[in-house]
Chains A and B, each alone.
Chain A
């Protein structure tokens, strides 16, 4: 069962100093996490960074399933949410008994919660991959989300269960009341989790996960039970999802049934896919973008989900490798020194593409606000939803942008072919 080969693929050449640049990346990431809140210190950006950090862990944990093991889950929020609930209960218990457990340990309890649930249901779930797994994950997701509303004592019904993160013992004088302290707690767990999940991909289990993703049948003939491999992957994914859930509980001081639901499961799928599942760092990019858009768009437009949908469809259709896929596609060109020959065609193509995007946005906003007569403000230009000129402008942008974009993107493809041929000649592309 061989997949159709992709037309061209980067050749990874062993470079000296690989280890150095490898540790360099992690050090830079750690430094960035430390410095970020010093540069952007407003309360709003601290909240955003905290949420992005959590989303990164969650999306990476999802990719243990999708990108590494080839398991498409529609219910990953279950482990995330249960981790959150367990963390809240743990915090309340620790506070009421005055146990000497500081707050930074709590996410670990969330992780254990996520893993315990995976341990419980995972064996049955991972018996088969593909559609069977996807359907069961959807079913379990619905099951847990709906029972969370019924089991009020555990899940607190509609309103959820609240907690007070400052009621735990302080650590080195930190009470974790101020958002900046919570941010650093999250940043700490982002680093730990990301390193651990990356390390996992470099273990025998991690490699066999990839083999199961590519060809579960053949795995059986090299000594491995793909069912066990999927089960283990599912438990690790549950563990890190639980950590993310625990951090969310700390961040908001509440856990409610929304954590467990289909929306949350959908968002993490979005993040991983948009970022790109084929590379470890893909879901990180996806989590940053999706969280940022989510926070940014909700204040600008009432139909932000629609834009999410469009972005998602666009990625699925035109760049199934996600952002990471797009970036990595250019690596051989950079190495071969031919990237410069494609950049101009990109710049040309960007103009009609932007026009097309503006046209689509204008159309959506016009339709969305047609009933109310609120003015639309697009790039500082006010539009009236009911005015015919607005409709005409949108139509011109969409149709004109589309037609011109088609031509310019064809140019991009030609420039690409030339650059790729050179890269192939120089041995950077197979």
Chain B
């Protein structure tokens, strides 16, 4: 079976600083894959590379077997990959409802249509309402996204990411800055929403990582030093030394 995401020998330099070195990563379809690593290891950069936000200096990235390195983000998105951002990245002046609806429009085939009334498209309406329900923001639907609380914005961020129905979902630290209770709620949400889809998640909270992930990759200085099941990662001496320390035991 072809992997959902296949990263082959990708390198990325900003100027003459090499941030990503010989990156190899394989995420199987339907798998929940966590990427962990210290601050500045290049996790978000890896997300940016896979989602087309930046182009690799060399190497190749495939989505469901098709080469996507070099494609623009919207082209990759149309092929079924959707990502969220570590720093909330929503449409601040538009309402919660409109934020989610915009993310539904392409996937429901309405594209750049200027001859349809957006308010009367039944499947758009229904899907938007469903997503709002899922992310518990129905009661805030008419509030501009810029005025939501931090935790609400993070949930909206997830909502926008999953709204298009992409088969591969990438979440960059979805629970960062959340309280313990909010984190639990968000994890339950992520678990439910990514049912039957491929998930790649960057997360610092180890209890979340080990509770959620089928497989874990450890990124240190732009290179994956280990990739495996939670048990394998837990027992890996290289990982212990390089990153996890006593935290895992």
Contact = CB atoms under 8 A, between A and B. Distances in A.
22 contacts: A5-B147, A9-B143, A11-B143, A202-B117, A202-B119, A204-B110, A204-B111, A204-B112, A204-B121, A205-B114, A207-B101, A210-B94, A214-B92, A214-B93, A220-B72, A221-B51, A221-B73, A221-B74, A222-B74, A223-B164, A232-B112, A236-B114
Nearest to B52: A220
A215 B91 contact: yes
A395 B91 CA distance: 48
Given A5-B144, A202-B119, A228-B112, 10 more contacts: A204-B111, A204-B116, A204-B121, A207-B98, A207-B101, A215-B90, A221-B73, A221-B77, A223-B105, A224-B74
Contacts, number: 132
A208 B112 contact: yes
A213 B98 CA distance: 13
Shortest beta-carbon contacts, A-B, top 9: A223-B106, A220-B73, A214-B91, A205-B114, A5-B146, A204-B110, A222-B103, A3-B92, A204-B113
Contacts of B146: 2-6
A208 B101 CA distance: 10
Interface string B137-178: 000001110110000010000001101100000000000000
Contact of A2 (B53, B153, B160): B153
Nearest to A203: B114
A221 B83 contact: yes
B229 interface: no
B107 interface: yes
A206 interface: yes
B92 A205 contact: no
Interface string A1-37: 1111110010111100000000000000000000000
Contacts of B46: none
A218 B114 contact: no
A11 B143 CA distance: 6
A206 B118 contact: yes
B115 interface: yes
The bracket for how many chain B residues form the interface is 35 or more
A204 B118 contact: yes
Contacts of A211: 91, 94, 98, 102
A218 B91 contact: yes
A163 B67 CA distance: 59
A11 B142 contact: yes
A151 interface: no
A2 B88 contact: yes
Contact of A223 (B78, B91, B118): B78
B138 to A, nearest CB: 13
A267 interface: no
A232 B121 CA distance: 21
Contacts of B95: 12
Given A2-B89, A204-B111, A224 B106 contact: yes
Nearest to A236: B114
Contact of B105 (A9, A207, A220): A207
Of the listed residues B88, B111, B112, the one surrounded by the most CB atoms of chain A closer than 10 A to its CB is B112
A202 B163 CA distance: 20
Contact of A220 (B74, B118, B161): B74
Contact of B117 (A4, A203, A214, A224): A203
A38 interface: no
Given A203-B118, A223-B164, A225-B72, A208 B105 contact: yes
Contact of A12 (B106, B113, B142): B142
A222 B117 contact: no
Contacts of A9: 143-144, 147
B82 interface: yes
Contacts of B115: 203
A217 interface: yes
A215 B102 CA distance: 12
Given A221-B73, A221-B74, A430-B143, A2 B114 contact: no
A211 B118 CA distance: 14
B135 to A, nearest CB: 15
Given A13-B142, A222-B160, A204 B93 contact: no
A200 B78 CA distance: 24
A3 B147 CA distance: 10
